[in-house]
A = this chain, B = another copy of it.
Amino acid sequence: MARIGYVGLGVMGGGVARRLLEAGHEVTGYNRTRSKAEPLIADGMRFAESPREAAEQTDVIFSMVTNTQALTAITHGPDGILAGLGPGKVYVDMSTVSPGASRGLAERVAECGAVMLDAPVSGSVITLEQGKLSVIVGGDREAFDRVVPILRDIGPTVTYVGGNGQAVLMKIATNLSLAVQMLAFSEGVLLAEKGGISREDAVNVLTNSAIASPMVKYRGPFVLEMPEEAWFDCNMMQKDMVLALDLGRELDVPLPTTAASNEILTAARGMGLDHHDFAVMFDVLAYLSGLAATAR
């Protein structure tokens, strides 16, 4: 069993940390708001006073935060992860940031004598709890081979896709379909509903059809009743869409459905709905169709 550091214990990050604890690893975790870490501490996690400490006292350090700015906050400065890294350590960042930002950080990690991997996860909290999370990994192959047993404790499917930044690229390339599929699903539900089929029946048929991806299956029913706490809110979703659109321009790939869906996320913000799960894209379209919003 390994000595593992974990920085960023939000809903998803905390869930991953818990799986590592349950797998028998010695976990030293850090979170800006300590209270969120209490349940994990109760179950045996050591609490570090800073990201630096979490990195200093362990061999493999994980982090999962919401964006580049947050990533800089936990890695840089006197209390940052970088200050705690050194030869022999592997730093695994699971955040979804731009490939360029990830590569830049990997260079800083290399300067400390350590090795960085980018390893964003694909899937929801539920997928995680079911032990079905998929992990995509980019970076040094040797370091990957060293930590792959730990990654398998997080989720059974671990795929190596290339050098630093390639895993976040693959994650972004995946996530654009989340918003697009949700919007197309909403178009279908509203068409059916306006044509006289109940919203419930439409959701039921669609979530059992050839277009029912795992995401459609768990998020589709949100158009009947929105979860109290967003699984992935419009701002988070749009962050990923913008990463995709920026890459599309950088790499010269037109992204017609991504672009169209992103504007609906902007509309959700204009309508004051951005803190809801991005399934609320449905409500934007419902409004434009003269239909009632989701129960929320």
Q: Interface on A for B, CB 8 Å cutoff?
A: 99, 122-124, 127, 134, 136, 157, 159, 161-163, 165-166, 169-170, 172-174, 176-178, 180-181, 183-185, 187-192, 194-197, 201-202, 204-206, 208-216, 238, 242, 244-245, 247-249, 251-264, 266-267, 269-272, 284-285, 287-291
Which residue from B123, B163, B166, B209 sits with its C-beta under 8 Å from A134? B209
| Complex interface: chain B residues within 8 A of A166 (CB) | 195-197
Query: Quick one: given A249-B266, A266-B249, A285-B254, are A197 and B170 in contact (CB under 8 Å)?
Result: yes
Copies of this chain in the oligomer: 4
| Complex interface: chain B residues within 8 A of A248 (CB) | 187, 191, 263, 266
A52 to B199, CA, bound (A): 39
Which residue from B173, B258, B272 sits with its C-beta under 8 Å from A206? B173
Known: A253-B266, A270-B291. 5 other contacts (CB 8 A): A134-B205, A173-B191, A177-B211, A194-B251, A210-B213
Q: How many Å from the CB of A104 to the closest CB on chain B?
A: 15
Query: Quick one: given A176-B188, A211-B215, are A201 and B161 in contact (CB under 8 Å)?
Result: yes
A184 to B172, CA, bound (A): 12
Closest to A216 in B: B213
Query: Quick one: given A209-B122, A210-B122, are A194 and B259 in contact (CB under 8 Å)?
Result: no
Q: How many Å from the CB of A234 to the closest CB on chain B?
A: 11
Query: Quick one: given A173-B191, A191-B169, A202-B173, are A252 and B269 in contact (CB under 8 Å)?
Result: yes
Q: Is A252 a contact of B173 with CB atoms below 8 Å?
A: no
